Amino acid sequence: MRGELHRVLPRVARLPSGRAFSVVLGVPESLSPLFDGSHGDWIWQAPARSASFCGLGLVGAEMDVAGWRYLRRDLETFGDPGPPPSARLTAPPFSGATRLGLPKIVLRSGRGGQWLYLNGLRDANGAEAAEADWMRLLESAPPPGPRSGGRRERAPRPDFSSWRARVEEAVAGIKSGRFSKVVLARHMTVTSSAPFDADRLLRGMAETRQTGRRFKIPLQEGVVIADSPELLAERRGDLVVSHALAGTARRHDDPAEDRRAASAMLASPKERREHEIVARFIADALGELCSDVNRAPVPMVMRLLGLQHLWTPVSGRLRPGFDLFDVIERLHPTPAVLGFPREAARAWLERVEESRDGLYTGLAGWVDLDGDGEAAVVLRSAFLRGREARLWAGAGIMAESRAEAEWNETRLKMENLLRLIEESA
């Protein structure tokens, strides 16, 4: 691969100053163990039918959507004719613009092979300086961190008394007609005598064999890790898919009891109504951008570790003139993580001063130069900063909601990640 890189660098050197570029190198099967994607600033692990990424560094600063659209028109690609280069993306929880970053190094794996992308910006230092920077990043993968210890759990925020008051206030708002659903969240903070190892925790998530998207992404002075079951949007060509995920029941070790819990969830007017709010919202939003919008007539059951959810995929064919960012703008945040109607729910949450950090219920994902990509809702997540891990979970509040049941639901949603964090200590 080094020889192929050296054949390409003279062409990079002839680019005009300021031009962004990407060198694409196929990774031979024999070298796959050297690029296992387990260490990186940005890690995205998806089901086998999709693509997974491991990224290091960042070319310049993060950019907004307009900046990315300009860069993708200008970016020059050299080397192997693999899939197009990709950027990572994030969006904050309640509102705000999508942000994108082009990593200096990206390993992409998926159906058809593995590719290494060496990205840069042509400047006065020349192509050799870019090569030295890439080699430094490739050789600087950190060893596994120490096992954290001396953990202690702080009191949950809010405490149960405050949670009960907030749930009752939300139910009163629903019964008065202010909104039909609102989502409340709470967090738990775990501390340790040594910094948490995000890569070790991500590997622990992978061992649970969930079917969603696992990812790690830098944020402020820390890092977010998540094992999200909720796909906000996936684009492949003109096909767009979004998942309505709302309605929750616990799992049971006994298969018959587990099936009964799923059947009770499917038969519950509350759970079905909560789910229908989300599924209809997604179908209506995609209808503004897509033709041939389809949704299943009845929800299916998504079975996860400890929990099962009502789940309805919604798909459509994106009309000319629209892209993945238009889909994100229409859909995010869905009633599954905010409430409905959105503006009324948002205004109420702001009034009661509900704040969410660590990107919880925001978005993380990727997009490539062709416009294909994915965005997942940041759920089943933790925000790691040094010796502190903050776990988040939420529950959709409906007119029938009771504080204790919703509290227990959030506890179940934290349970798997909390266990992994405790086992890492």
Residues 205 and 90 both lie in one domain:
no
Q: Among residues 258, 301, 15, 270, which one has the least CA distance to residue 130?
A: 15
146: left (phi over 0), alpha (psi -120 to 50) or beta: beta
Residue 146 lies in a domain: no
Is 181 a residue of the active site?
Answer: yes
Separation CA 78–CA 93 (nearest Å): 37
pLDDT value, residue 419: 87
Residue 147 lies in a domain: no
Which is it for the CA torsion 56, 59, 63, 66, positive or negative? negative
Max Cα-Cα span within the chain: 70
Residue 212 three-state SS: coil
Is 230 a residue of the active site?
Answer: yes
Q: Among residues 347, 397, 379, 357, which one has the least CA distance to residue 164?
A: 397
Which of 88, 111, 138 delimits the end of a domain?
138
Angle subtended by helix axes 255-267 and 269-287, to nearest 10: 70
Residue 143 lies in a domain: no
Separation CA 157–CA 396 (nearest Å): 17
Residue 277 lies in a domain: yes
Question: What are the C-alpha distances in Å from 358 to residues 110, 219, 261, 314?
Answer: 28, 7, 32, 28
Could you give the residue ranges of the DSSP H alpha helices within 187-235?
198-207
Residues 81 and 209 both lie in one domain:
no
Which tokens sit at 219? 């944020």
Which is it for the CA torsion 413, 43, 201, 262, positive or negative? positive
Residues 320 and 376 both lie in one domain:
yes
Which tokens sit at 341? 């109607």
- Summarize pLDDT for 358-412 with one digit per residue, the tens: 899 999 999 999 999 999 999 999 999 988 999 999 999 999 999 999 999 999 9
Residues 257 and 318 both lie in one domain:
yes
What are the two backbone dihedrals, phi and then psi, of residue 42, each rounded to the nearest 5 degrees?
A: -125, 125
Question: What are the C-alpha distances in Å from 235 to residues 1, 283, 324?
Answer: 31, 15, 6
Residues 180 and 301 both lie in one domain:
yes
Residues 64 and 198 both lie in one domain:
no
Would strands 76-79 and 20-26 be described as parallel, antiparallel, or unpaired? parallel
Cα separation of the two ends of the chain? 40
DSSP state of 166: H
- Active site residue: 104, 216, 230, 354, which one? 230
The overall average pLDDT reported for the chain is 89
Q: Across-strand partners of 113?
A: 110
The tally of domains found in the chain comes to 2
Which of 84, 115, 138 delimits the end of a domain?
138
- Summarize pLDDT for 220-250 with one digit per residue, the tens: 889 999 999 999 999 999 999 999 999 999 9
Residue 336 lies in a domain: yes
Residue 255 three-state SS: helix
CATH number at residue 268: 3.60.120.10
Separation CA 405–CA 72 (nearest Å): 48
Residues 190 and 93 both lie in one domain:
no
Residues 257 and 121 both lie in one domain:
no
Residues 219 and 258 both lie in one domain:
yes
Separation CA 42–CA 163 (nearest Å): 34
Stated as kind and residue range, the H or E segment containing 377 is strand 373-377
pTM over 0.85: yes
Separation CA 242–CA 52 (nearest Å): 19
Residues 132 and 161 both lie in one domain:
no
Which tokens sit at 413? 């949603």
- Active site residue: 104, 181, 216, 413, which one? 181
Residue 280 lies in a domain: yes
Which of 107, 138, 169 delimits the end of a domain?
138
Which tokens sit at 380? 């089943």
CB atoms within 10 A of CB 378: 32
Residue 157 lies in a domain: yes
CB atoms within 10 A of CB 189: 16
Residue 145 lies in a domain: no
Domain range holding 324?
152-423
pLDDT value, residue 141: 61
Residues 218 and 358 both lie in one domain:
yes
Which residue stretches of the chain have pLDDT < 50? 33-34
Residues 328 and 382 both lie in one domain:
yes
Q: Across-strand partners of 310?
A: 301
